[in-house]
Amino acid sequence: MGYKTIIGLEIHVELMTKTKIFCSCTNEFGGEANTHCCPVCLGLPGALPVLNKSVLEYGIRAGIAFNSKIATRTKMDRKNYFYVDLVKGFQISQDDIPLCDGGYVEIELEEGTKKIGLTRIHIEEDTGKSIHTEDGDSLLDYNRAGVPLIEIVTEPDMNTPEEAQLFLEKLRATLKYIEVSDCKMEEGSLRCDININVVDTETNKRTNITELKNLNSFRAAVKAMEYEEKRHIALLKEGKNTVKETRRWDEVENKTVVMREKGEVADYRYAVDADIPPIEIKEEWIEEIKKHLPELPHDKKERFIKEYDLPEYDAGVLTQSKDLALFYEETVKYANDPKQVSNWIMGDVLRRLNDEEIEVEDLKFGPKNLADLIGLIDDGKISNNIGKKVLREMFETGKKPEEIVKEKGLIQISDEGELKGIVEKVLSENEQSIIDYKNGKDRALGFLVGQVMKATRGKANPQMVNKMVTEMLNEK
Ligand SMILES: [Zn+2]
């Protein structure tokens, strides 16, 4: 008996244009409540919207990056519904002619590349925000009203929570690459709704779709999908079905909880917004946008392989995010050893970023500092191991590597005379190890080298120590 999970996503992405979609109010995040507003985004009677051309451009950029067909003629429609954060009583969106039609995103699975189809990408305005206080009051902030959005709707092409996660990661990385959004989930500039259900592959019985909303991180999204997958399968096994409903993820209880049951499909009475003229998009403009589109992840990866002579794996990891790729290229400019820079970034730097769940832009040090650290190792001033220690300190304090080395007295001991004295002392204190070595126990050599390193608190030049200990042992 087998079950197949079916997952489709709807993603809302706030565009980082300077101004809102239909007025010249700032599109900056935050600000004192109700200060980024004007009669247009407040929907006061008689105020007329004027479409921001940049919103079209950003939407087209996304369409190009995701292989969609860009409409040459489109329009804006009114989606009617009542909610307090939507003062006009309708949202200006797109109904039957989206800006971008179709398209796909490729994700890398163990068994190969999988194409996740997109149904559409359309532009629309965001609504205001309700804030429910602990005292039971509801406050309204309309700063977000009229913030430009693209809504990306996928086909139900994902079959595991992992595939959905890979899709979301790729989508976010690409949107950041093409500079249409900062995709900060914690600030709501990327919001994701999930439709999920399960089919019994033998009987073809399927559960009703559950819609998951209010997911504030990819991690929460994955947990919610895994939870729902199990819940749907358990019900199918009992011969039961799910209720068509909207659920949210409860971080504390570690489960999904019902928000509301889904009744009939809402009739939004879509109608053309007569205040906004039909939109005509010329082929030349699309070509122009295509020409100036920033380098996409795949192209960057290929370039890294060629330009820096990196293995495909390295190039893939380094181009996962635009900021990481930029950090890499900047470091190489100063350090001039592409593979070594890659090793440091993929190793110690990424590990720390993942552990602390921070992004490369949150680092306290810059590419030049990392390059300087690599330089200190290359010049034999510090050992590789001390380098790792210095890097840890750079993470904490953001101090320059030379400064840390100086302050902590970490300069590598490469002075033969000085090292000789220490090696002699270690040997005289470890007679047994010398005998062991003479009897063919190679481990004794490692032990003695280790003792010398310990005596110098890791500052001795390891190659030199190795050589000297071997030589002196052989002389005995
Ligand atoms: Zn405004």
Residue pLDDT, tens place only, 316-356:
999 989 999 999 999 999 998 999 999 999 999 999 999 98
The answer to whether residues 139 and 34 touch, using CB atoms and an 8 Å cutoff, is no
Q: How many whole angstroms from 91 Cα to the centroid of ligand 1? A: 14
To 5 degrees, how large is the angle CA 467–CA 469–CA 473? 120
Neighbours of 98 (CB within 10 A): 25
Q: CA 262, CA 243: separation in Å to the nearest integer?
A: 8
Q: How many whole angstroms from 87 Cα to the centroid of ligand 1? A: 13
Report pLDDT for 262: 74
Q: CA 320, CA 360: separation in Å to the nearest integer?
A: 12
Closest CA to 198 of 166, 231, 163: 231
Residue pLDDT, tens place only, 123-178:
999 999 999 999 999 999 999 999 999 999 999 999 999 999 999 999 999 999 99
Residue range 446-472: average pLDDT?
87
Q: How many whole angstroms from 129 Cα to the centroid of ligand 1? A: 15
Q: How many whole angstroms from 324 Cα to the centroid of ligand 1? A: 35
Q: How many whole angstroms from 10 Cα to the centroid of ligand 1? A: 26
Sorted by where each starts, the structural domains of the chain and their CATH numbers stand as 3-283 (no CATH), 295-407 (no CATH), 416-475 (1.10.10.410)
Q: How many whole angstroms from 393 Cα to the centroid of ligand 1? A: 47
Structure tokens at 120: 């559409």
Work out whether strand 245-250 and strand 210-215 pair parallel, antiparallel, or are unpaired: parallel
Most confident of 134-138, 412-416, 440-444: 134-138
Q: How many whole angstroms from 63 Cα to the centroid of ligand 1? A: 26
Question: pLDDT averaged over the chain?
Answer: 93
Percentage above 90 pLDDT, the chain: 75
Q: How many whole angstroms from 93 Cα to the centroid of ligand 1? A: 17
Q: CA 461, CA 465: separation in Å to the nearest integer?
A: 6
Percentage above 70 pLDDT, the chain: 99
Q: How many whole angstroms from 98 Cα to the centroid of ligand 1? A: 24
pTM: 0.82
3-state secondary structure the chain: CCEEEEEEEEEEEECCCCECCCCCCECCCCCCCCCCCCCCCCCCCCCCCCCCHHHHHHHHHHHHHCCCEECCEECCEEEECCECCECCCEEEECCCCCCEECCEEEEEECCEEEEEEEEEEEEEECCCEEEECCCCCEEEECCCCCCEEEEEEECCCECCHHHHHHHHHHHHHHHHHCCCCCCCHHHCCEEEEEEEEEEECCCCCECCCEEEEEECCHHHHHHHHHHHHHHHHHHHHCCCCCCCEEEEEECCCCEEEEEEECCCCCCCCCEECCCCCCEECCHHHHHHHHHCCCCCHHHHHHHHHHHHCCCHHHHHHHCCCHHHHHHHHHHHHHHCCHHHHHHHHHHHHHHHHHHHCCCHHHCCCCHHHHHHHHHHHHCCCCCHHHHHHHHHHHHHHCCCHHHHHHHCCCCCECCHHHHHHHHHHHHHHCHHHHHHHHCCCCHHHHHHHHHHHHHCCCCECHHHHHHHHHHHHHHC
Q: How many whole angstroms from 147 Cα to the centroid of ligand 1? A: 9
Q: Is the confidence at residue 181, as pLDDT, over 90?
A: yes
Q: How many whole angstroms from 124 Cα to the centroid of ligand 1? A: 15
Q: How many whole angstroms from 20 Cα to the centroid of ligand 1? A: 7
Q: How many whole angstroms from 131 Cα to the centroid of ligand 1? A: 20
Q: How many whole angstroms from 229 Cα to the centroid of ligand 1? A: 43
Q: How many whole angstroms from 49 Cα to the centroid of ligand 1? A: 9
Structure tokens at 173: 């990385």
Q: Is the confidence at residue 264, as pLDDT, over 80?
A: no
Q: How many whole angstroms from 29 Cα to the centroid of ligand 1? A: 14
Q: Is the confidence at residue 1, as pLDDT, over 70?
A: no
Q: CA 453, CA 445: separation in Å to the nearest integer?
A: 12
Q: How many whole angstroms from 143 Cα to the centroid of ligand 1? A: 8
Q: In 264-302, which positions are buried (b, 16+ CB within 10 angstroms) versus exposed (e)?
A: eeeeeeeeebeebeebebeeebbeebeeebeebbeebbe
Phi-psi region for residue 268, left (φ > 0), alpha (ψ -120 to 50) or beta? alpha
Q: How many whole angstroms from 19 Cα to the centroid of ligand 1? A: 9
Q: How many whole angstroms from 438 Cα to the centroid of ligand 1? A: 85
Q: Is the confidence at residue 304, as pLDDT, over 80?
A: yes
Q: How many whole angstroms from 180 Cα to the centroid of ligand 1? A: 20
Q: How many whole angstroms from 81 Cα to the centroid of ligand 1? A: 20
Q: How many whole angstroms from 172 Cα to the centroid of ligand 1? A: 27
239 or 261: which carries more pLDDT confidence?
Answer: 239
Q: How many whole angstroms from 461 Cα to the centroid of ligand 1? A: 65
Q: How many whole angstroms from 148 Cα to the centroid of ligand 1? A: 11
Report pLDDT for 8: 98
Q: How many whole angstroms from 268 Cα to the centroid of ligand 1? A: 24
Q: Is the confidence at residue 263, as pLDDT, over 70?
A: no
Residue pLDDT, tens place only, 12-60:
999 999 999 999 999 999 899 999 999 999 999 999 999 999 999 999 9
Q: How many whole angstroms from 263 Cα to the centroid of ligand 1? A: 34
Q: Is the confidence at residue 471, as pLDDT, over 80?
A: yes
Report pLDDT for 100: 98
Q: How many whole angstroms from 184 Cα to the centroid of ligand 1? A: 23
Q: How many whole angstroms from 214 Cα to the centroid of ligand 1? A: 26
Residues in the chain, overall count: 476
Report pLDDT for 408: 82
Structure tokens at 33: 């409540």
> Can you say how many angstroms the Cα of residue 16 is from the centroid of all Cα atoms in its chain?
17
